[in-house]
Chain A
Amino acid sequence: EIVMTQSPAILSVSPGERVTLSCRASQSVNNDLAWYQQKPGQAPRLLIYGASTRATGIPARFSGSGSGTEFTLTISSLQSEDFAVYFCQQYNDWPPKTFGQGTKVEIK
């Protein structure tokens, strides 16, 4: 099973700041990496797939990069609606598909 590790667990930021979230895989997943955003009481929403492709309707301030074992989600200028928990997921080698434990982006 591929283990996904996200860092940091919690990120305290101010609106307008640039935010960088990290996700590491225990072995290469090529580019088969997705990012999700989850707000309280809601289902996760797909942001990025293929490590860097934005899903339909996702604002351009969200970008993904990386390949192999190291990945990054960047929010170029954090908006109030972006405070949420972010999860990464690998779908290269499954079953099982595996998720990181999440990074909570909170208001500083």
Chain B
Amino acid sequence: QLQLQESGPGLVKSSETLSLTCTVSGDSISSSGYYWGWIRQPPGKGLEWIGSFYYGGNTYYNPSLKSRVTISVDTSKNQFSLELNSVTAADTAVYYCARGSGYDANWGQGSLVTVSS
């Protein structure tokens, strides 16, 4: 049974770097043939796609965030991570990791990250 679990600090100071990890169980990031990625949702608002990768292929980022975002993979731990630098209050959101084939079929439960001044 596939499970995705986000983890990381719930509070980040303004101008610093937000770091989250998604731990995957029930599938292998390196051999599944799916896209893996991150999506966020500010409190009470809609969904914003951050970026996705296909293992062994390219990593794609939202142009609106591209200059500040890095998605990386640790296949030894079956995890992938998100780094978002120079955060502001506008980056306060629930961050979800997801697996899909274009569409996002499977989601983690989400991790709320609050940016404080």
Contact = CB atoms under 8 A, between A and B. Distances in A.
A44 B105 contact: no
Interface band, chain B: 20 to 34
Contacts of A84: none
B10 interface: no
Contacts of B51: 95
Contacts of B63: 1, 95-96
Interface residues of A, number: 23
A95 B60 contact: yes
Interface string B45-81: 0111101100000001111100000000000000000
Contact of B62 (A44, A89, A95): A95
Contacts of A91: 102-103
B110 A43 contact: yes
Given A87-B47, A100-B46, A95 B61 contact: yes
Interface of B: 46-49, 51-52, 60-64, 96, 102-110
